[in-house]
Structure 1
Amino acid sequence: MSRPMNQQFDCSAYTVGWLCANTAEVNISRRFLDEEYAPPPPQPKDENGYIVGRMGSHYLVIAFPLVASSGPVAIACTVAHMTRTFYNIRFGLMVGTGGGAPSAPHPTNPLNDIRLGDVVVSQPSQSHGGVVQYDKGRWTGDDNFEIRSHLEGPPRYLLGAMAALQSDHQSRLDKMMDYFQIAATKFSRSAAPEFRFPGRGQDRLYKPSHLHKGNEGSDCSACGTAALQPRLERQSNHPAVHYGLIASGNATMRSAAHRDRLRDTWGVRCFEMEAAGSGNRFPCVIIRGIANYSDDHKNKHWQNYATATAAAYAKDLLRHVRPEEVLNSQVASRIM
């Protein structure tokens, strides 16, 4: 990658913020840059780390908290520092992993099922802008939990890019896995370990009533196969992309029963912990590679691969975002 070291750094050149929550997401995401440049000089009171570069026609900032932390508060600080230092940023892409909210297996088309390694993208639905904060709301008289906090939807040009890419996927004209392969072999002829597909044998969806056997975070070797949810086999290992509501909260979702209740009530497709921290007014699309099924069988076996598929989708999405539309939109700091 090209890294010009002698040019004066210009914060105004960068219009896209790419948000990561941890070092693993950063290390995978930077492989998708077409060019990486020298980082900016340290800014007073800015606690973020930054990697800057070009991806296609866009100059973007990969931003992440320098202090190891997670959850919405950490991301809120990351967004605040990023939009202050890089004051021309128009929108953000939050790229990382989440837990799937699988529905009953589709009887004829396995691509409609959420599988590990797939990607879920936040999309406005009903009165929600793409993300619901499921741990904020109120209990109603009929013993239901009414969600009252949600983020606004992304700008129109991002929704248009999402629709165009969705059409590409349906026509098999997308470049998502091309970008994935280029990033995987960027520094050697063989794929980096974190990009290797774990195998469908490691993709285990258990029936909600079957609790995990073993320590928290351990593999499911002791869980057996009798309680696995029967699903049709896919003909390809390429990840599918799903659009819909993403549920964000302060704690990891590990309950199949609670997962299914929120899925059925709100149509949630994915659970994660950072999106609610991006702020109600920050123009942003949440892109999550599915690393688990939001139940007590959760482990980190699919974490890196799912991060890479999310990053591949994000790069393909930027291919449909025209730079002139971005420059003609309002800067994020003014919207916020």
Structure 2
Amino acid sequence: MTTGALTEAIRGLPPGAVDLARHAAVPVALDARFLNLLRVNFFVDIPVPLPYETEAALLLSPVVREIGEGLYEVDPALRNTLLSELVSEFGGDRLGRVAALLEQYTDRSAAWHALPELENAQRLTALSLLDPERAHEWLQREKEASAEVGTALGHSWFVAMENRLLQQQTALLPAPPPTAIPWITVAIVTEPGPPNDLLDDVIDEVFDYRFLRSLKCQVGVIPSEIDPDHGHGVVLAAVNEGASADRVVDELIREFPELRTIIVAGTFPADSDPEAYEIVVARRVVAGSEGMSQVPGIDYGLLSAASGPAIPAAVVWPAHETGAVPTVRTATFVGPNQFAEPGVVVDRFSPAITAAADAQGLSWFVVQGTPNDGPARACVAAYLRALVSTAGSFGDRLPSPDPEWAASTTGALSTADPVSPRSALDATVGIITALPVEAHAVRSVLDDARPTMIAGDPTRYVLGSVPGPEPGHEHTVVLATLPPDGTRSAATLATTMARSFPGLRLVIICGIAAGIRRSAGEEEIRLGDIVVATDGIVDFGHTRTADGPEPRPLGRTPPSTLLLAADRRLQASEAAGAMPWLETVHRLAAIPSFMRPDSDADDPTVHRAAIGSTDMLLRSSRIRAELARQYEVVALEMEGAGIAAGAVRTGRSWFMVRGISDFGDDSKSDSWQGYAALTAAAYTRSLLAEYPAQGPERAPNVR
């Protein structure tokens, strides 16, 4: 029987039952007591003991069939395959131990005494595995005696046993090592447990099966939307119970030497509503018992696919009786011994596998579904199929554990191309972000974005374009993300960017900010709203976070005159009911990274005022209220003053657009960061559509 037929036969068996079946394939027949002895002798004193229910599950499965009088036999079509796997998985010594147990059971029990042909068949089988030469001599001697004087063993018995021993000998011959499959680049790994039927619908056709010590593998192809003539080679790997993460990854690499990416997939129980179906993509994974080790190396190609506009259209959600279409969100995944906040997924499997993948230099991705049922697994399969098919490449590892590093400039994008002198001169607009989530949002609104490097500059840039006001003209835009070092680094990056891209006319600060709650009667600022620094940046320098000394403004830097004029044109169009930035927001807000956290259907409002810049977060409500009253500041951020100073120092203008992600108080959380970053990026794109390619863009003076 082929390994494919074996796969069908063992479908639905609980964890460990296949290993028990491999041992049960040794005797000619077995009863329930001998099966129990196999489990007790070989599967109790192990890290994950097999429960006694596994015995009943095996006896009721298609692998075993009842032959009467309380006896069972392993399907003869499966026996040789199972015997071969017993040796390959557990070694020849284990085979000898099972044979010795069979011999002892036959000698000491009356299980087969009433059936002399079966009793002798059991003895001969055990002897053939313990001492093949003695078994052959015994068989020939008994065969001759039966022919001369007659015995209880008829001619047909000897013929059957000779054939059985020959087949057994063939099955136990050392198998040549399986040929490594070089074209597999992606592994989808599922955790131990009942066979995960999410594997069924991910690939089009299974080309090969591999039964490894830690894994059961199906090899096939997922079509590519980008290159329809060539699909992606994928292995679907179900992990055996008790297998370590390191061993799983080691076996995958040995078996599939071109493997680049491991996707961890599965389902988990619902936290609240068991009928609310969700697909959860890991935005970061935290491994280690202390919860301090974030796993780097998330896959750039899969991240780009998951964050791009193609995924929602590509997913064909399965139809099932609930009629539910899952929502897609991101979350942090942590191990079971770590502190978990609301919204965090506690998962023992994903952190271990991703950490092991990272240690071997592989990239990783995590997609889980909830609740833990068949429809959720089918939804995960549909999402995985769309995700892999729309990904352009695999194996490019991002340096941060946070997939918001899709547009990161800090480091290890192996696909980054050195930019030519002409490309560097083409860039006229620079955009600087402070956080990965902000960079991800900006990159998502750029056209033809790609990683870029400049010789002699360690910064990793992203080069893209946006439409300008003149037909056929585009602004070439360069994006960079700050290292987490504070305002001094902000000024340095602005200066470095101007030196590497000498054609820059303008530097835009784009990202999130903390809003300041308004008094009664004033225009309300809401989460997700857009704030444009039309009245400049009020630089408060170093301030305290408690009710200490009042912050002292160090100066107010005015923004770009050309973008101020562009903003006035957008304000006029807004009054007429035309808000082009909302089209971008609505299109990209379907992406998990940018989804609006609440169900409010109201669109973001644009506020125009001054924005305060300080090196530290202000959590004092009294100080924030005083800033709003005295300096007409409507939001606070931390990097703008440094970036603006660096731009001015190099003769460039600056501008700032922020999305409100919190109010800087005790209610502060990260849940609005993605949506707020998107609203700011979308408005920035619309601003540049009004920004002229030519004009007197001069560096402003500080007053």
**Does TM-score exceed 0.5, indicating one fold?**
yes
- Give the Cα–Cα distance (whole angstroms) in 1 for the partners of residues 678 and 551 of structure 2: 35
Rounded to whole Å, the distance in 1 between the matches of 2:494 and 2:642 is 8
Percentage identity across paired residues of the two chains = 28
1:122 lines up with 2:533 in the alignment: yes
Query: Is 1:154 aligned to 2:567, yes or no?
Result: no
For 1:83 and 1:8, the matched residues in 2 are separated by 16
Aligned CA distance change for structure 1 residues 52 and 196 (closer, same or farther; 3 Å) = same
Cα 1:254–1:7 change in 2 (3 A) is: closer
- Residue identity matched to 2:576: S
Structure 2 counterpart of 1:321, one-letter code:
Y
Q: 1:165 aligns to what?
A: 570
| Shift in alpha-carbon separation, 1:113–1:257, aligned structure 2, 3 A | same
Deviation per residue, 1:110-146 (Å, 9 max, x gap): xx3100000111012xxxxx10112369xxxxx9765
Alignment of 1:101-120 (within 5 A): 101-106=516-521, 112-120=523-531
Go from structure 1 to structure 2 and tell me whether the alpha carbon gap of 1:70 and 1:302 turns closer, same or farther (over 3 Å shift).
farther
Does the CA-based 8 Å contact 2:530-2:660 persist in structure 1? yes
Of residues 410, 428, 432 in structure 2, which corresponds to 1:19?
Answer: 432
Q: Output the CA distance in 1 between the equivalents of 2:588 and 2:551.
A: 43
Once residues 418 and 666 of structure 2 are traced to their aligned partners in structure 1, the CA distance between those partners, rounded to angstroms, is 51
Partner AA of 2:625 in structure 1: D
SS in 2 for 1:147: coil
Whether 1:89 aligns to 2:495 is no
Q: CA deviation at 1:103?
A: 1.0
State the match for 2:481 in structure 1.
64
Instruction: Name the counterpart of 2:615.
Output: 250
1:28 is displaced (CA, Å) by 1.8
Q: Which residue of structure 2 aligns with residue 205 of structure 1?
A: none
> Once the 2 structures are TM-superposed, how far is the Cα of residue 172 of structure 1 from its aligned partner?
1.6
Q: Secondary structure at the match of 1:74?
A: helix
**Structure 1 position 259 matched with structure 2 position 670:** no
Aligned equivalents of 2:608, 2:534: Cα separation in 1: 6
Return the alpha-carbon distance in structure 2 between the equivalents of residues 323 and 183 of structure 1: 27
Residue 273 (structure 1) aligned with residue 635 (structure 2): no
Return the alpha-carbon distance in structure 1 between the equivalents of residues 513 and 438 of structure 2: 12
| 1:197 and 2:596 correspond | yes
Q: Which amino acid aligns with 2:525?
A: I
SS at structure 1 position matched to 2:556 = coil
**In the alignment, which residue of structure 1 is the partner of 2:229?**
none
Report the 3-state secondary structure (helix = DSSP H, G, I; strand = E; otherwise coil) of the residue aligned with 2:666. coil
Partner Cα separation in structure 2 for residue 62 and residue 98 of structure 1: 19
Counterpart amino acid of residue 167 in structure 1: A
Instruction: Identify unmatched segments of 5+ residues in structure 1.
Output: 125-129, 138-142, 185-190, 202-235
Q: Are 1:100 and 1:292, in contact at CA under 8 Å, matched by a contact in 2? A: yes
Residue type at the aligned position of 2:440: N
How far 1:254 moved relative to its partner? 1.4
- Counting only pairs closer than 5 Å after superposition, residues 321-336 of structure 1 correspond to structure 2 as 321-325=691-695, 329=697
Higher relative contact order (CA 8 A, sep 6+): 1
When the two chains are superposed, the root-mean-square deviation of aligned CA atoms in Å is 2.8
- Give the corresponding residue for 2:687: 317
Which residues of 2 match residues 168-247 of structure 1 at below 5 A?
A: 168-184=573-589, 191-199=590-598, 236-247=601-612
Pairwise CA distance, 1:30: 0.6
| Alpha-carbon contact 1:21-1:70 (below 8 Å) kept | no
| Cα displacement (A) at 1:323 | 1.3
Aligned residue among 503, 507, 515 for 1:100: 515
Could you say if the C-alpha distance between residues 244 and 87 of structure 1 is closer, same or farther in structure 2, counting changes exceeding 3 Å?
same
TM-score normalised according to structure 2 size? 0.36
> C-alpha distance in 2, partners of 1:180/1:168?
17
Deviation of residue 83 (structure 1)?
A: 0.3
1:61 counterpart letter in structure 2:
V
Paired amino acid for 1:260: A
Partner Cα separation in structure 2 for residue 241 and residue 305 of structure 1: 14
* Counterpart residue number, 1:212: none
Partner residue, 1:133? 539
Is the CA contact 1:36–1:52 (under 8 Å) kept in the aligned structure 2?
yes
Shift of 1:97: 0.4
Deviations along 1:272-322, one digit per CA (max 9) or x if unpaired, are: 000011143241111110011122221111111100010011011111112
Residues 40-59 of structure 1 aligned to structure 2 (within 5 Å):
40-44=452-456, 46-56=457-467, 57-59=474-476
CA contact (8 A) 1:259 1:295 kept: no
How far apart are the structure 2 equivalents of 1:157 and 1:121? 14
User: Equivalent residue for 1:79?
Assistant: 494
Separation in 1, partners of 2:486, 2:656: 14
Q: 1:17·1:91 contact (CA, 8 Å) conserved in 2?
A: yes
Q: Which residue pairs with 1:213 in the alignment?
A: none
Question: 2:462 corresponds to which letter in structure 1?
Answer: I
Distance 1:41 1:257 in 2: 45
**Cα separation, partners in 2 of 1:175 and 1:69, compared to 1, 3 Å:** same
Between 1:98-107 and 1:79-88, the stretch displaced more is 98-107
DSSP-derived class of the 1:258 partner: helix
Cα distance in 1 for residues equivalent to 2:657 and 2:618: 18
- 2:486 corresponds to which letter in structure 1? G
Does the 8 Å contact 2:581/2:686 carry over to 1?
A: yes
Aligned residues: 271
TM-score by length of 1: 0.74
Q: Is the 8 A contact 2:416 2:453 kept in 1?
A: no
1:117 and 1:309 in contact (8 A); partners too: yes
Distance 2:604 2:442 in 1: 17
After superposition, the Cα gap between the structure-2 partners of 1:113 and 1:322, relative to the gap in structure 1 and judged at 3 Å, is: same
Tell which structure's C-alpha radius of gyration is larger.
2
- Whether the 8 Å contact between 2:559 and 2:655 is mirrored in structure 1 is yes
Counterpart secondary structure, 2:508 = strand
Alpha-carbon distance in 2 for matches of 1:48, 1:4: 11
Any unmatched runs of 5+ in structure 2?
A: 1-307, 309-391, 393-414, 468-473, 544-548
1:28 correspondence with 2:441: yes
Structure 1 counterpart of 2:654, from 284, 290, 295:
284
CA contact (8 A) 2:434 2:639 kept: yes
